[in-house]
Amino acid sequence: MKRVLLALAAGVVFLAGTTALAQRQGGMRFGGGSNAPIKPNIPYDGRFTFIRLRYGPPIAYQTQRVPWSHDYPEGEENMMKILNEISDLAPHIEQSNILALEDPEIFKYPVTYMCEPGRYFYVTDEAARNMRAYLHKGGFLIIDDFRYNDWNNFEAQMLRILPDARMVDLDASHPIFHSFFEINSLEEIPNYYDRGSPIFRGIYEDNDPKKRLMVVIGYNTDISEFWEFSGTGLKPVDESNEAFKVGVNFFIYGLTH
């Protein structure tokens, strides 16, 4: 039943994405970014809101030159459409917020998302303190879209946030891959353009695998790219479905742990 529901929901996103693409008259292209204006944040109202974390200064328009903005806004909008279709979460769909790592507003939101924290990712002392407190108080961080040659800097910056953290590999037996959809093999998860298989790592509370996962790291992969382009025909619907399953599981896990 879940598989059927996701297929139907993906169809909704496909149609919505196709319409939006036509309205932009080809303005968004693979690898080029949407150049969409960054919308003002909406006030907290208790409804689930997609929170994209910003490292570096704010910008007026999405651009490929600013990695934290990649896949904005189509990636989050399409992901929220899926969550709206298959759950009672009733998230904001056409509105998402962008918050700096040091912004105390993040404590209002249980799940946050960070895109492409590779070679340009840098954490200030203030940001490190804020994110450390957020994670220790129950926040959940989803990290996506970076690859092999970016790991060293990413790890160094994460250790500024959680100095004692151990980043461990996750396999398909982990509960996060079964929190809503059953993902029984990581080989089921498509890779957009990275060589090899996706790698998923995590950071546990107190580095204890019996406790909750505070951070999930999608490494050498880019599942949000499938979310962004799910309505354009650039990738098969079946592959987009698999990427949406991963996203749904990540958000559901974060909301329930």
User: Taking 80 as the threshold, does the pLDDT of residue 14 lie above it?
Assistant: no
Cβ distance 139 to 106 under 8 Å? yes
At 256, phi and psi to the nearest 5?
-115, 5
- Measured between alpha carbons, how far is 21 from 229 in angstroms, rounded to an integer? 10
pLDDT for 91 equals 98
State mean pLDDT over 106-117.
97
CA distance to 80, 118, 155, 172, 237, per residue, from 148 (Å):
29, 9, 12, 21, 27
Cβ distance 146 to 116 under 8 Å? yes
Q: Which amino acid is at 153?
A: N
Domain range for 119 is 2-256
User: Taking 80 as the threshold, does the pLDDT of residue 241 lie above it?
Assistant: yes
**Does a cis peptide bond (omega within 30 degrees of 0) precede residue 73?**
yes
pLDDT for 25 equals 32
Distance of CA 248 to the CA centre of its chain: 10
CATH number of the domain encompassing residue 168: 3.40.50.12140
Pairing of strands 199-204, 213-219: antiparallel
In this prediction the pTM is 0.88
The chain-wide mean pLDDT, for the chain, equals 88
Pairing of strands 140-144, 168-169: unpaired
Q: How many distinct helices (H) and strands (E) make up the chain?
A: 6, 7
Q: Output the CA torsion sign for 123, 124, 129, 130.
A: negative
Domain count, the chain: 1
Q: 8 vs 144, which has greater pLDDT?
A: 144
Confidence of residue 32 (pLDDT cuts 50, 70, 90): low
User: Taking 90 as the threshold, does the pLDDT of residue 234 lie above it?
Assistant: no
Residue spans of alpha helices (H) in 54-150: 74-86, 125-136
The secondary structure of residue 67, as a DSSP letter, is G
| Surface-to-core class of residue 14, CB atoms within 10 Å of its CB (0-12 exposed, 13-18 middle, 19+ buried) | middle
pLDDT for 17 equals 40
Cβ distance 249 to 177 under 8 Å? yes
Confidence of residue 252 (pLDDT cuts 50, 70, 90): very high
Could you tell me the strand order of the sheet in which 111-115 lies?
97-100, 51-54, 111-115, 140-144, 213-219, 199-204, 168-169
Highest mean pLDDT (candidates 34-38, 210-214, 226-230, 235-239): 210-214
pLDDT for 6 equals 45
